[in-house]
Amino acid sequence: MKSSRRSLKKSGDIMLDLQRTAIPFVIMTFISIALASGCSSQSDLRSVKGEVTMDGMPAAGAIISFQAVAGSLGNSSGAVVDQQGRYSIPSEKGLKAGAYDVTIQYWKETGETYTDPCTGQTTATTAPIKFAQQGKLRVDVKADEEGQFDFALTSAKK
């Protein structure tokens, strides 16, 4: 009995940690996108697309965001990776030419479940995946080229 209580608390802690980190990030990403979309003429914005994989598999549900490098005149934008591992940002929500830091947040089911004590609803728990890549992901959006950026990530081994 004691061990099951311990695993439930562990699952609950994972959900709380996920809520504390993921929700504010998602909100700020979409606020940045909304603010940036009103600041540029659409002719200055480039569409951006590509694929995101984790250990060779599509990183479905990952959130990819592009933030202009400090001192750059760029804007910010982002997208959710689809089931095939693809993302697409249309030109009307796209990026100006320039250098961008790329952030990818990806969660995967842990194999554990969490039962909400108030509603009794059981859901699969998720946890953020840590990447093995060192340093920042950075891309350079060109005014005269298609914005195709693929990211092949590998998970950090525990």
Grouping H, G, I as helix, E, B as strand and the rest as coil, residue 58 is strand
What is the chain's pLDDT, residue by residue, as a tens digit (158 residues)? 444 444 444 555 555 555 566 666 666 666 666 555 555 455 789 999 999 998 899 999 999 999 999 887 788 999 999 999 999 999 999 999 999 999 998 887 777 777 888 888 887 666 666 665 556 789 999 988 889 999 998 877 65
Residue 67's Cα: distance from chain center in Å? Answer: 12
* Distance (Å, whole) CA 14 – CA 7: 11
Amino acid making up residue 115: T
* Distance (Å, whole) CA 9 – CA 112: 11
Topology of domain 2-153, CATH: Immunoglobulin-like (2.60.40)
Q: Can you give the length of the chain in residues?
A: 158
Name the pTM for this structure: 0.63
